Structures are given as C-alpha cells and as structure tokens.
Chains A and B, each alone.
Chain A
Amino acid sequence: MALLEIRHLFKFFGGLAANSDIVCSVESGMIMGLIGPNGSGKTTLFNCITGYYPPTKGEIIFKGQRINGLKPDRVCKLGMARTWQKVRPLAKLSVLENVMVGALARTGSLKVARRAALHQLELMRMENRANSLAGSLSIGERKKLEVARVLATQPELLLLDEVMGGLNPVESEEIIQLILDIKKRGLTQVVIEHDMKAIMRISDRVMVLNSGEKLAEGTPQQVVSNPDVVTAYLGSAHVA
C-alpha cells in the first residue's frame, strides 16, 4: 500500500486553481521528485498535504488514513514532516534547542529530547554549532538545521521544499548526500527542487506540475524525454 496517496486534489484561491486534479501515490521508501516552473503549485500541494490549507476537493490518504482537514500539528504527530522553502529557524533559540523542539513532539522529557537532538546534530555534522543561536547561522547551516529539526520529530514521510535553494555547489552536494542517507534509513521523501541535475540523481520517480496541473509522472528518464515537460520548461520552439 502506498504511504501517501493523493486522490483528485483541487485547491482554489478564489477563481485560481493552484492545484487541479492532482493524483499521485508515494510508495514507502522511495524519493519522489516534485518539479515544475515557478507558480506551478508545488508548495501549495505541500501546504495542502501538511494541513496548512484545507483542500477544496479531493482526498489525501496517509498510512491508510484520510488526513484532509487535520491541523499541521496532528499531521506531524502522524509521522509526516515538512521543511520550508524560506527557512524558518527559531532565531532566538540555540541550534540544539531548535532541534529539541522537534524532538519534543515524541517525548515530554527535556533530557530525552536533548539526547535525541544531539544525536540528530551529530548525524548532520552540526554538533559544533549546538550552542549557537539559530539566527546566527549561514543559509547552508540553516537549511541543514531545518532538516535536523524535522527529522527529530521522527517522521516516516519527509516533505522537503527546496532545501538546496540558494546553496553553493559544495553545500548542495552535502544536502544530496544527506537526502540519500535519509533514504537509506528507510524514510520516504518528497523533494521539491529546481536543480534538475540533483533531482535526476536522487529521485526514484518524478512528478511534474505546470499551472497547477499534473503534467507528467514517471522515472527521471521518462520525464526528461517527455515532450510536454520540455515545452513547459523551455518553450515550444525547442520541441523538434
């Protein structure tokens, strides 16, 4: 059974269909790449899945349970976590405390949470920054902190919204390794990314959105050779 299933999801903002008739299913253990031009509805889809927006129509099934209408905190408790395109560090808390807040979703004890958070930071090779204020981190470190924090909530499904955006090649490579590492631990991931090379490398399947609609889905190879996708990305003149 698929870990996450989206059935005919629609999201309207007034007359604008930000998501229209999205159908997809994410199997356990896979990495699903989610691509599309700006404004194609990728982040809106994330917001619908994680409970920030109620979908206008359609169903979201997570672990066999219908989750539309659930608040984000309930969704998190069920085992789904998301990062933000624009990072949201808890600026006046330390890096360790940021991750502890995530870990506290699964425990009431600060001691247990602190241990779990330190473990997460070690995996992320960020333990040397544990006492720094989150607001003082560089953008690359903030992106890593974001991932460490959601991993601390012990999710089964991870939704990563452009974790490589704004990073230099060295940092991007580090994130790619991190995503592959997370996959090895058995977690399922949906990854929004603009860097096509990265998406091709990490994804088992890729879904393409364009103006709120699903344009294509398949293996990375199938998707890049799909003429519709090329048109959406490069314009029709390139289709020869």
Chain B
Amino acid sequence: MKTFGRIPLTASGFAALPLLIVAAVVAALFVFPWLVASPYLLHLMILLFLSVAMGESWNVIGGYCGQYSVGHAAYFGVGAYAALMLLQYKHIAPWWGVWVAIAAALIISLLIGTICFRLRGPYFVLASIAVAEIIRLVVLNWKQLTNGAEGILLVDIPPLMLGGRLVTDWLSKTPFYYLGLILALATLLVNYLVQHSKLGYYLQAIREDQDAAHSLGINLSFYKNVALAISALFTALSGVFYGLYIGFIDPASVLGVDLSVQMVLICIIGGIGTNFGPVVGALVLVPLSEALRANLLSKFLFSIGVVQETSRVGGFLKENLAHAHVLIYGILVVVVILFMPDGVLGFGKKLIARRARPLSATPTPLVGGLDGSA
C-alpha cells in the first residue's frame, strides 16, 4: 500500500500551491482596471479573455473528447448573430438575447452532433467544416434576415439597470473587461468540473479508444453530444461577447473557417486536453497576432539592425509582414507540433520535471512478470 502515498500527496499537499497562485492571479485581474488606465491594454486583456474562453470551450469537445471539430465558428457566429439581430432589429436587450443565442447554439450542436458523430477521425473533421460553411453561406445569402455580407453594425447597447440603479452604460471598456474575465473564468471552471467528473473520464476514454470505451459501457453518441453541447454553449457565449464588444459582425468575421481554426490552434499550441493549456495558448497567440498587426516584428528587426528599413528587403518586410499573420501562425503550429507535441504547457511541465528528478524518474520494466510482480 505504501505506493499510494503519492496519490493523497498530489491531491492535497501540492495542489494547494497552484490554487494559491490561481487565486492571486484572479484577484490581480479583478483590480487590474483600477490600476491601469490605458484603453489599449484593457483592449488586449479583453481579447485575451475572449481567446481563453474560445479555447477552453473548444477544449471540452476537442481536448477531452478528442473530437477535432473545425467548425466551431458555427456556434460562435450563431450566438453572435442571435444576440445582435435581436438587439438591433427587435430592441431586445442582450441579457435576454443571450438565452436565445444559447438555445440556438444548443439546437444546432444537437443537429451537427447527430449527423457528424456518425463519422470518426478525419471524416468527422471534414463534416464539421462542411456544416459550419453551410451555416456561413446561409447567413451570407439570407439578406432579409441577416443583412448578408454587410453584416450588423451595433448602434448601442441599452444601459444595464439592476433594481433601479445603473450598473453600467457600456461606454467604457471596463464593463467588457469584467464580462470577459467572468466568461474566461467560467469556461476554466467548466473545464475543471468536466475533468474531475465521470463525464471527464468518459470523454477521455472516448478520445483514447472509442471501441474500448464502447465495450466498457460508455454510450458514445450520448457522451459526445453532451460534450459538444457544453462546448457549443460557451462558444456561443463567446460569440455574443465578441459581437457586443466589437460592435460589428459579418459572416466572414464570426462564421469563417479561420475562426474555427484559431480555436483549435489556441488549444494545440497551449496544450490540448489540459485545464490551463488554452490559457497558455491564448497568452502566446493574442500578443503574437497583436504584434503582427502592429508590425512590431519588422520594427524589431529594423531596431536591432538585422535589416535596414530603407533597403529593398526592409521595404518588403514593412509592407508585407503585417499580412503574414497566417504564414507565421502556420510556422508556429509546425514548430509546436514537431518539438512540443503536448503544447507549450506540456513542454514546460516536462522541462520542470526533468530538472526536478533527473533520469531514474520513470522506470519501465520490459517484462511485467519478471520484475517480481508474478
């Protein structure tokens, strides 16, 4: 029995430290807007929260359950469109519209799940892309309902009153900051709850081996659909949040394949199927894409003198590097997959583990029967 000493130890002794760190970080995030006045920094943080929420949402179905949906823009876009159409055309406040958005996303997830979960592996991926594209095309062409390619420009959000008192008039970035923070924390909590429940065990069993899971009494389509529904719900919430914050949505920005891919990338780069992986992924990708957009990379190259700004190469970089978003994303993914198959988070953990206990840490006997267990 002495080997079981390791289980309670990791559960109580070591778990307290990360918990304290998380609590400190959350507290710091809640006071952040009081300390930092810069709207740009707040904007960056909001984008970060949005990415965390999207990544964590996708992680439920893609990370734990292993069903790589590359069509999650469907739920994001449907959520955004439902809330913004109700607000703009029917003047229904978003805190009511959000329920419609959730309902719409859940119905669509059930439809997509019933169709696509008949397929496995790459065929599921293709089907998920196809369904999302169908939804994008419907929204693009159903002009009377959705305003087509012109999208929806939000005029204003009605002020939020609670018991006769004004909570917020949505004019600054601060309410969005807190909304985003709560959304990100909620998705993190959902991932934690999933991981520490029967559902989480079953999802991981499905990810590791569907046939084995099936033979162990796991109803595959039921659990896959539950995971997809949870994932779709929070993706839709992210979509509503995006629509309200940015104030403009069109089919390309909230229903495009690149959005779906981005959700997957956040998880793959951070660490798929882990609680904090998507957070790490967002921490890598959001600053990176901001740096690319602001052309910080070429500025950096000029400042350290690698390339002259006035030279032909310099001019080319200055012109094009900002548009090289996708290219650099692609290179990053290749690098991560090649050198960090468990994502940045897994890579970091491995580094720490290697430093903590050198070499003899994982004995793997070649033959079970000969090492004394027989």
Provide the B350-374 mask, 1 if CB < 8 A to any CB of A, else 0: 0000000000001011111110011
Work out how many contacts link A and B, with CB atoms closer than 8 A: 120
Task: Tell me the smallest distance from the CB of B355 to a CB of chain A, in Å.
Answer: 20
A140 touching B368 in the complex, CB below 8 Å, given contacts A93-B205, A97-B201: yes
**What is the number of residues of chain B that contact chain A, defined by CB distance less than 8 Å?**
36
Q: Across the interface, do B201 and A104 meet the contact criterion of CB distance under 8 Å?
A: yes
Instruction: Give 3 nearest A-B pairs by CB, closest first.
Output: A105-B217, A90-B208, A141-B368
* B binding-site residues for A, Cβ under 8 Å: 1, 3-4, 6-7, 196-198, 201-202, 204-205, 207-209, 211-220, 273, 362, 364-370, 373-374
Task: Tell me the smallest distance from the CB of A46 to a CB of chain B, in Å.
Answer: 10
A77 contact set on B, CB distance < 8 A:
217
Q: Across the interface, do B3 and A104 meet the contact criterion of CB distance under 8 Å?
A: no
> Which chain A residue has the least Cβ–Cβ distance from B10?
A131
A149 contact set on B, CB distance < 8 A:
216
* A binding-site residues for B, Cβ under 8 Å: 50, 52, 71-73, 76-77, 81-82, 84, 88-93, 97, 100-102, 104-105, 108-110, 113, 118, 125-128, 130-131, 136-141, 144, 149-150, 153, 167-168, 170-171, 173-174
B7 contact set on A, CB distance < 8 A:
130-131
How far is B201's CA from A125's CA once the two chains are assembled, in angstroms?
Answer: 23
Q: Across the interface, do A73 and B220 meet the contact criterion of CB distance under 8 Å?
A: yes
Name 16 interchain pairs, CB-CB below 8 A, sorted by A. Answer: A73-B214, A81-B215, A84-B215, A88-B209, A90-B204, A92-B204, A92-B207, A102-B216, A110-B198, A110-B201, A113-B201, A130-B3, A130-B7, A131-B6, A140-B369, A141-B368
> Which chain A residue has the least Cβ–Cβ distance from B220?
A73
A137 contact set on B, CB distance < 8 A:
368
How far is B202's CA from A126's CA once the two chains are assembled, in angstroms?
Answer: 22
Q: Across the interface, do A126 and B205 meet the contact criterion of CB distance under 8 Å?
A: no
B369 contact set on A, CB distance < 8 A:
140, 167-168, 170-171, 174
Task: Tell me the smallest distance from the CB of A4 to a CB of chain B, in Å.
Answer: 16
> Which chain B residue has the least Cβ–Cβ distance from A84?
B212
B201 contact set on A, CB distance < 8 A:
93, 97, 100-101, 104, 110, 113
Q: Across the interface, do A101 and B373 meet the contact criterion of CB distance under 8 Å?
A: no
Task: Tell me the smallest distance from the CB of A98 to a CB of chain B, in Å.
Answer: 8
How far is B2's CA from A130's CA once the two chains are assembled, in angstroms?
Answer: 12
How far is B367's CA from A101's CA once the two chains are assembled, in angstroms?
Answer: 25
Q: Across the interface, do B217 and A153 meet the contact criterion of CB distance under 8 Å?
A: yes
Per a CB cutoff under 8 Å, which of A84, A91, A108, A171 touches B367?
Answer: A171
B196 contact set on A, CB distance < 8 A:
110
A128 contact set on B, CB distance < 8 A:
3, 373
